[in-house]
Structure 1
Amino acid sequence: MIKIYAPASIGNLGVGFDLLGAAISPIDHNFLGDCITVCSSKIFNIINTGEFSTQLPNNMHKNIVYQTWKIFCKIIQKKIPVKIILEKNMPIGSGLGSSASSIVASTVALNIFFKTNLKKQKLLKIMGKLEGLVSGSIHYDNVAPSFLGGTQLIIQEKNIISQKIPMFENWFWVIAWPGSQLSTVISRDILPKKYTRKTCVQQNKNIATFMHAIYTNQKELALQVMNDLIAEPYRIPLLKNFDVTKKNLLKLGARTCHISGSGPTIFSICDDYEVAKTSETWLKKNFLQNKKGFVHICKIDNYGSKQVR
């Protein structure tokens, strides 16, 4: 029996649309991610458990975990039946890499179970392909950090998919999921097909300056240029009261606030724990739409996917 945990992740990080992603873990050590258990079985079966398992499709063949198993059967050129238990701790359509978490955990677990010994870059390519089945396009800013941990820069050139980059250790990442769903496909389709040269130049300047700032340990400069011009301005109308929420968090002392991935989850960066706690309290009272929603104070998860008991 093999059991793998893959953490939640924040895509884009405000400044790096489709280029940056970070794995996160709550500081209270609660799991914020999915678990996959693979066991020997005479017949193939998927068992869905966890708080958000009711959001999964009833048809087993439409489960992304089933698609992962099919890929590995093709690799080993044999259909070996297994029992897969998917512990769905992540809400679907949350903007926290929910599909990526299931994809990473199942890919890693099946690679170990079938002893295929695929290298990391090969595994990443499989994860990207599976992510494309869910969101409509291949992208790695959730699967790479969830798999490899830390903050990942998506390179996607030849045999290099991503590389780990440094991040400011004293930052607290306050994430808030309001309790509603937002399709990644819808969030991507709403984006313009073309951008002005001015917008592209400014976006490139922001990401280049951000990368320079984190490598030279200039926190204030990094915060100053965390401004996305490609996706966030067009996705803000899809989120309820985002502008008001951001304004209030900044008043409380948060350093910035952005949409996590495609939304509707938002994240706020605080460099003081007390400010993070105050922000957490405010978000619980004013941002959550129902009892399903949650708020967590997180740090960057530098480990990524891991085997658990």
Structure 2
Amino acid sequence: MIKIYSPASIGNIGVGFDVLGAAIEPIDGTNLGDKISISSSNCFKLVNTGTFKHQLPKKVEDNVVYKCWELFCKKIKKNIPIKIVLEKNMPIGSGLGSSACSIVGTMTALNEFSKTNKLSNKELIILMGQLEGNLSGNIHYDNVYPCYSGGIQIIIQKDDIIGQNIPYFKNWLWIVAWPGINISTFQSRSILPNTYSNSTCIQHSRNLATFIHASYTNQEILAAKSIKDIIAEPYRMKLLPNFKKVKSMVKKDGAISCGISGSGPSFFAISQDIKTAKKIASTLKKNYVNKDKGFVYICKIDQKGTRKIG
């Protein structure tokens, strides 16, 4: 049996629309990610478990795990009779890389299981991106690649390079809050404009370049100040409950930066210490999260990415 864990991720990190992503893990040990188990079988079987299994499609063929198996078998030109158990610990449409978790975990497990037909890392990641693109409307790796490789990744997509690690500040704590509602990536992308002004493009480039420069030169305040989303946030904030109010509140609590995680509706904030992080988490629980459905976690960067467990 093969068992794989794939962590949650923050796509964009505000300043890097479709080109930055961070893998995250709660500091309390919670598995904020999906688990995939694969074992031999006489035919394809899929079993759904986990906290958010009720959000998964009832029809097996509509499940992204089935689509992974179908695409992988097509790629290696051979059907693999297996049983897959998906432990769905991530809410769908949360902005925390839920689909990437399932895709990356399943594809990695399939490749490990198929010992005589293994794909290269690049082939595997391209398939992951293709599936993610089928769900959201276009191929983007800002959740897939950090979920697979861990750390904070800049997406390059040039020659043989999909992405590479960039330095991150190890003292930063990332507070993420899912309000309990779901927004599809396709929906949140569809409300963005087709064109942007010269001034917006210049400022966005300046912010992103400053963030990368500050990350490499260990200037954490400069890096935090450059995390500004002028590409998606002005349009997506209307989809998020109390976003502007909550953003103001967590900054007063001491957050050095904050914004929309991926396509939303999850919110992320960054703190330099645990006391401030707990204060921010409390504010988000009271003012952003549905008490019956949502959650808040204080996280650190997950350095390992997708890995074998058990």
Same-fold call, TM > 0.5? yes
Query: More deviation in 215-224 or 68-77?
Result: 68-77
Question: Which structure 2 residues correspond to residues 1-309 of structure 1 after superposition, within 5 A?
Answer: 1-115=1-115, 116-309=117-310
State the one-letter code of the partner of 1:178: P
- Deviation for aligned residue 1:118: 2.1
State the one-letter code of the partner of 1:41: S
How many residue pairs are counted as aligned between the two chains? Answer: 309
State the one-letter code of the partner of 2:108: V
What SS does structure 2 have at the residue aligned with 1:47?
strand
Query: More deviation in 113-122 or 165-174?
Result: 113-122
State the one-letter code of the partner of 1:6: S
Q: Scaled by the length of structure 2, what TM-score is found?
A: 0.98
- Deviation for aligned residue 1:289: 1.9
What SS does structure 2 have at the residue aligned with 1:304?
coil
- Deviation for aligned residue 1:283: 1.3
- Deviation for aligned residue 1:80: 2.0
- Deviation for aligned residue 1:252: 1.0
Q: Deviations over 1:184-237 (max 9, x none)?
A: 111000000000111111100110111000000011111111111111111111
State the one-letter code of the partner of 1:206: N
- Kept in 1: contact 2:7–2:24 (CA 8 A): yes
What SS does structure 2 have at the residue aligned with 1:198?
helix
What SS does structure 2 have at the residue aligned with 1:57?
coil
Q: Distance in 2 between matches of 1:291 and 1:254?
A: 25
Q: Distance in 2 between matches of 1:298 and 1:138?
A: 27
- Deviation for aligned residue 1:43: 1.5
Q: Distance in 2 between matches of 1:121 and 1:80?
A: 21
Q: Distance in 1 between matches of 2:287 and 2:200?
A: 33
- Kept in 1: contact 2:20–2:153 (CA 8 A): yes
Q: Distance in 2 between matches of 1:285 and 1:232?
A: 22
What SS does structure 2 have at the residue aligned with 1:175?
strand
- Deviation for aligned residue 1:307: 0.5
State the one-letter code of the partner of 1:120: N
Q: Distance in 2 between matches of 1:211 and 1:68?
A: 33
Q: Percent identity?
A: 56
- Kept in 1: contact 2:285–2:296 (CA 8 A): yes
Q: Distance in 2 between matches of 1:223 and 1:61?
A: 43
What SS does structure 2 have at the residue aligned with 1:187?
helix
- Kept in 1: contact 2:221–2:256 (CA 8 A): no
State the one-letter code of the partner of 1:90: M
Q: Distance in 2 between matches of 1:87 and 1:21?
A: 23
Q: Deviations over 1:234-285 (max 9, x none)?
A: 1111111111101111111111110000000000000011000111112112
State the one-letter code of the partner of 1:51: T
Q: Distance in 2 between matches of 1:272 and 1:308?
A: 30
Q: RMSD in angstroms over aligned alpha carbons?
A: 0.9
- Deviation for aligned residue 1:290: 3.7
- Deviation for aligned residue 1:3: 0.7
State the one-letter code of the partner of 1:275: T
Q: Distance in 2 between matches of 1:308 and 1:239?
A: 35
Query: More deviation in 87-96 or 221-230?
Result: 221-230
Q: Scaled by the length of structure 1, what TM-score is found?
A: 0.98
Q: Distance in 2 between matches of 1:196 and 1:179?
A: 34
Q: Distance in 1 between matches of 2:76 and 2:95?
A: 33
- Kept in 1: contact 2:12–2:20 (CA 8 A): yes
What SS does structure 2 have at the residue aligned with 1:140?
coil
What SS does structure 2 have at the residue aligned with 1:9?
strand
Q: Distance in 2 between matches of 1:286 and 1:157?
A: 42
